[in-house]
Chains A and B, each alone.
Chain A
Amino acid sequence: MPAKANAPLTPAVLHILLALSAHERHGYAIMKQVEADSAGKVKMGPGTLYGSLARMIEAGLIRESDRKTDPAMDDERRIYYRITGLGQRALSAEIERYRQVVALGTRKRPVANAFVFRHAD
């Protein structure tokens, strides 16, 4: 079922879309990119990665690209995944949502501090 572009994304889907936002990658390269993007904090196993890819293909967020070899690796032919237009829009919408949350958090911080301060008295 195709996803709505403004529907919230799971953390795994968000990381995969970010990894594919610049250019297409195969499964292992996505894993490594996610790990690098998150400074090693997010480590996806194959079960999580390919399960997410299956659902993202179904939702139209990504699509399978050509099967080709990775020049940086061995000579095995690999399936590459590419972000779709819907995937780009979903990623933009999610980033905007995060931006709003950060803005809200920034605005609320003085109030939260005041609350802590009052109780400290």
Chain B
Amino acid sequence: MPTERTVAWLRNRYADLLRLYPRPYRERFRESMEQTFTDLWRDEREAGGGLFRFAVWMFFETSVGILKERWRFLLMRNANVVRLAVVVGLILLVPLVAMQFTDEAAWTAFDFAFAAALLFGTGFAYLLVTGKSRSIAYKAGVAIALLSGFLLIWVNGAVGIIGDEHNPANLLYGGVLAVGLIGAAVARLRPRGMSHTLFAMAVAQLLVPVIALVVWTASFSEPPGMLGVFVINACFAGLLAGSALLFRLAAEQADLRNA
């Protein structure tokens, strides 16, 4: 027969376990659940049941409940982040499945990790930046800016824009991203500042092939060639300028609201 001390110790451990519930749930039910523990143990003892079996059942059943509530809480609080993680997982299934059928897709574990980090990071940045904004123009501006950054990293990582992916000229694109990051920090993500930042990024994007042409002239003999490089950069600059215009629109709308 277990001593009162053993039962009290177990009840305290059960109280510790209940701390793992999300706070709102814990505040509402902790006391009742501790009372229920005592009630159920009294029933078990009267029925001649053992403490060990009772404890295993209680701790297991409650742990399952904690996992369910934690998951629910996570979904409720971070529904968009969970959705994003699921979408990233589904996207990564495409190369994973393709690898089973063709040798054309040969991703390493690093490739998957890199793609997951890039996709999730881009999506998470969007959620983070647009979380408090109701402006469609602002949201669209952020989406296009992030998409441009994502594509810039992806294309450079995969094949490179100037020459191949190992060509040092492609490192200049890091400067475009740096302009974006510094500009966004200085502008504190406010639409007018973001508009200036994105225009600066577009200019930096157009400067990259010009600088590369001066320093690494030979690189332009490789595919996609000089015209190809300038066209690709013009496309990126167009996206960045489009994003800048959307930020400008969002700033003007904000000015009108505040007027």
Residues of A within 8 A of B (CB): 26-28, 31, 45-51, 53-54, 73, 76, 78-79
Within 8 Å CB of A51, what residues of B? 65, 68-69
**What CA separation (Å) do A54 and B29 show in the bound complex?**
9
B61 close to chain A: CB less than 8 A: yes
CB–CB A47/B32 < 8 A:
no
| Interface majority SS (helix, strand, loop, mixed), chain B | helix
Tell me which of B34-42, B85-93, B167-175, B192-200 binds A: B34-42
Given contacts A45-B61, A47-B61, contact A79 B66 (CB under 8 A): no
Task: Select from chain A the residue with minimum beta-carbon distance to B66.
Answer: A47
- Is the beta-carbon distance between A46 and B62 smaller than 8 angstroms? yes
B32–A45 contact, CB under 8 A? no
Contact A50 B32 (CB under 8 A): yes
Decide: A27 near B36, CB < 8 A? Known: A53-B29, A54-B25, A54-B28: yes
Q: Does B187 contact A (CB under 8 A)?
A: no
Beyond A73-B39, A78-B35, whether A45 also contacts B29 by CB under 8 A is: no
Given the interface pairs A26-B32, A45-B57, A45-B58, the reply to whether A50 lies near B65 with Cβ below 8 Å is yes
> Closest 6 CB pairs between A and B?
A47-B65, A45-B61, A28-B39, A47-B62, A50-B29, A47-B61
What residues of B have a CB within 8 angstroms of the CB of A45 in the complex? 57-58, 61-62, 65
Contacts of B62 in A (CB 8 A): 45-47
B63→A47 contact, CB < 8 A? yes
Q: List 25 A-B contacts (CB under 8 A).
A: A26-B35, A27-B33, A28-B40, A31-B36, A31-B40, A45-B58, A45-B61, A45-B65, A46-B33, A46-B36, A46-B61, A46-B62, A47-B65, A47-B68, A48-B61, A48-B65, A50-B25, A50-B33, A50-B65, A51-B68, A53-B29, A54-B25, A54-B29, A78-B32, A79-B31
Nearest CB of chain A from residue B55's CB, rounded to whole Å? 12
Give the residue among B35, B37, B40, B63 with the most A Cβ atoms within 10 A: B35
Chain B 13-36 against A: per-residue CB contact (8 Å), 1 yes, 0 no? 000000000000100110111011
- Any chain A CB within 8 A of the CB of B215? no
Q: Are B32 and A79 in contact (CB under 8 A)?
A: yes
| Contacting pair A76 B35 (CB below 8 A) | yes
In contact, B64 and A47 (Cβ under 8 angstroms): yes
Interface residues of B in 36-92 (CB under 8 A from A): 36-37, 39-40, 57-58, 61-66, 68-69
For the complex, what is the distance from the CA of A78 to the CA of B61, rounded to whole Å?
22
Given contacts A47-B63, A47-B66, 13 further A-B contacts (CB under 8 A): A26-B35, A27-B35, A45-B62, A46-B37, A46-B40, A47-B62, A47-B64, A47-B68, A48-B61, A50-B33, A54-B25, A78-B35, A79-B32
Q: Which residue among B25, B37, B39 has the maximum number of chain A CB atoms within 10 Å of its CB?
A: B39
- Chain A residues, CB < 8 A from B40: 28, 31, 46
Contact B68 A46 (CB under 8 A): no
**Could you say which residues of chain A place their CB within 8 Å of the CB of B35?**
26-28, 76, 78
A46 touches B69 (CB 8 A): no
Point out which of A47, A49, A51, A76 has the most chain B C-beta atoms below 10 A from its C-beta: A47
Taking the nearest CB of chain B, how far is it from the CB of A46, in angstroms? 5
Chain B residue nearest to A57 (CB atoms) is B28
